[in-house]
């Protein structure tokens, strides 16, 4: 049996590909491993819902379903006299993109898929976005998102089945989590009915150790593949696949809730400069992991900070290990302050339940601060990012 690193490189470089599905599958697994770093503490095979992999596919394939410039991701075949789409989910994803661009007024960014999947992330019930975000977006967009997730999750089973030599040679057939729960640990937010792909422990560890290499190889092979099946320049494809979103959402709700706490006398401390933030003090609502690095507006990632430092020093960089050590108690205090607000604590607990596997209820602020700093360190090291 091939070693885990050989499995990854063989699938990407040598497997037969009539679509880019296999590349997208490995890239999604790689991103899941990076997104849930504390799963490794369980030393177990990991169950990943197909709907979670489908969310990443929305982001990856988003730039290829631009109605004005669709980009092929495989050969279009004829079956019983009808032309079959290069991607089985192209109609559903195209409709989702159309609904989204109506909401944002026709603005286009090739990375809007990343922004959207974090805005419409499934709640811990598995039934749709959290109520706070559900109210922000129209019903037709929510329905189009769920339809795209369903269509992509069905499609994903094909590359899972044919990855490697033969059928089911690398991965087992996906099953509901309740059927595999005794022998696996699930990523946060998984429900018993979720159909899951099981990632063996050794393969999970390989993705974690080689995340930067896997990402680079996926992008490279995807550019080569798309260049072969479309008339687009590989450099253009590279730009689409590596684009990252801007922070289009103003975070008005979150800032209003924090303003209320400050007006009631709660004082915050900038985790990077240790400057106090109280009533009358200007502040930025800073993304600990910048949007350009890790596009999420989840509440654990938003902290009041010194606006000058945030704009001129931090920007899109990540803190060093030394700065993280200094910041950790301030992050803990920030989360403790959020817990004094009923609206904020509900959102914070919901966001954390979908992200971290090791945060405990009895020591919530402390364990969350440690989990967040661990995630920052993992992302910085795995992707070799600039730090301040």
Same domain (yes/no): 13, 47:
yes
Final residue belonging to a domain, choices 216, 242, 268: 242
Terminal CA-to-CA distance of the chain, rounded, Å? 43
pLDDT on residue 136: 75
* 317-357 pLDDT tens trace: 999 999 999 999 999 999 999 999 999 999 999 999 989 99
Question: What is the residue-wise DSSP string for 206-246?
Answer: HHHHTHHHHHHHHHHHHHHHHHHHSSS-HHHHHHHHH----
Same domain (yes/no): 235, 273:
no
pTM reported for the whole predicted model: 0.90
| Among 66, 36, 64, 65, residue whose Cα is nearest residue 52 | 36
Q: How confident is the model at residue 165 (pLDDT cuts 50, 70, 90)?
A: confident
Between CA 376 and CA 385 the distance in angstroms is 10
In a domain, 104, yes or no: yes
Same domain (yes/no): 215, 257:
no
Q: The domain containing residue 211 runs over which residues?
A: 4-242
In a domain, 303, yes or no: yes
In a domain, 388, yes or no: no
Output the six-digit token pair for 148.
Answer: 């795209």
Final residue belonging to a domain, choices 214, 242, 270: 242
Same domain (yes/no): 178, 311:
no
| Among 269, 361, 281, 381, residue whose Cα is nearest residue 321 | 381
* 23-57 pLDDT tens trace: 999 999 999 999 998 999 999 999 999 999 999 99
Final residue belonging to a domain, choices 217, 242, 267: 242
Q: What is the dihedral of CA 162, 82, 225, 73, to 10 degrees?
A: -90
Same domain (yes/no): 117, 230:
yes
Same domain (yes/no): 178, 290:
no
Between CA 12 and CA 220 the distance in angstroms is 10
In a domain, 267, yes or no: yes
Same domain (yes/no): 181, 263:
no
Same domain (yes/no): 238, 262:
no
Same domain (yes/no): 260, 168:
no
Is the distance from CB of 258 to CB of 286 less than 8 angstroms?
A: no
Same domain (yes/no): 36, 179:
yes
Between CA 386 and CA 16 the distance in angstroms is 36
pLDDT on residue 100: 94
Same domain (yes/no): 99, 72:
yes
In a domain, 367, yes or no: yes
In a domain, 247, yes or no: no
Same domain (yes/no): 216, 259:
no
Q: How confident is the model at residue 78 (pLDDT cuts 50, 70, 90)?
A: low
Is the distance from CB of 93 to CB of 64 less than 8 angstroms?
A: no
Number of domains in the chain: 2
Question: What is the residue-wise DSSP string for 242-268?
Answer: H------S--HHHHHHHHHHHHTT--E
């Amino acid at each position: 049996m091939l070693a885990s690193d050989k499995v990854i490189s063989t699938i990407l470089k040598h497997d037969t590909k009539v679509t880019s599905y296999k590349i997208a599958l490995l890239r999604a697994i790689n991103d899941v491993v990076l997104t849930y770093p504390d799963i490794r503490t369980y030393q177990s095979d990991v169950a990943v819902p197909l709907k979670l992999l489908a969310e990443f596919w929305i982001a990856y394939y988003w730039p290829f379903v631009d109605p004005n410039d669709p980009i092929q991701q495989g050969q279009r075949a004829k079956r019983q006299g009808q032309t079959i789409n290069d991607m089985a989910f192209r109609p559903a994803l195209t409709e989702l993109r159309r609904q989204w661009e109506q909401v944002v007024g026709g603005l286009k960014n090739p990375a809007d898929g990343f922004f959207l999947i974090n805005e419409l992330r499934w709640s811990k019930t598995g039934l749709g976005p959290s109520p706070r975000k559900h109210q922000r977006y129209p019903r037709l967009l929510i329905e189009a998102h769920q339809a795209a997730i369903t269509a992509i999750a069905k499609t994903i089973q094909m590359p899972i089945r044919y990855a490697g030599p033969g059928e089911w040679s690398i991965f087992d057939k996906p099953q509901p989590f309740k059927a595999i729960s005794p022998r696996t640990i699930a990523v946060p937010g998984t429900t018993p009915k979720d159909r899951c792909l099981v990632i063996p422990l050794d393969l999970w560890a390989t993705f974690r150790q080689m995340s930067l290499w896997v990402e680079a190889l996926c992008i490279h092979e995807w550019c080569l593949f798309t260049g072969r099946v479309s008339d687009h320049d590989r450099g253009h494809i590279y730009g689409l696949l590596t684009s990252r979103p801007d922070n289009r959402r103003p975070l008005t709700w979150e800032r209003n809730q924090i303003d209320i706490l400050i007006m009631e006398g709660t004082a915050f401390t900038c985790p990077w400069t240790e400057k106090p933030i109280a009533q009358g003090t200007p502040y930025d609502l800073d993304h600990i992991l910048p949007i350009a690095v890790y596009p999420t507006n989840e509440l654990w990632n938003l902290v009041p900070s010194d606006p000058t430092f945030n704009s001129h020093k931090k920007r899109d960089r990540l803190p060093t290990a030394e700065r993280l050590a200094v910041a950790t108690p301030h992050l803990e205090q920030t989360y403790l302050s959020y817990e004094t607000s009923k609206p904020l604590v509900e959102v914070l607990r919901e966001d954390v339940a979908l992200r971290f596997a090791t945060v405990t209820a009895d020591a919530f602020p402390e364990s969350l601060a440690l989990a967040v700093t661990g995630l920052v360190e993992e992302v910085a090291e795995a992707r070799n990012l600039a730090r301040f």
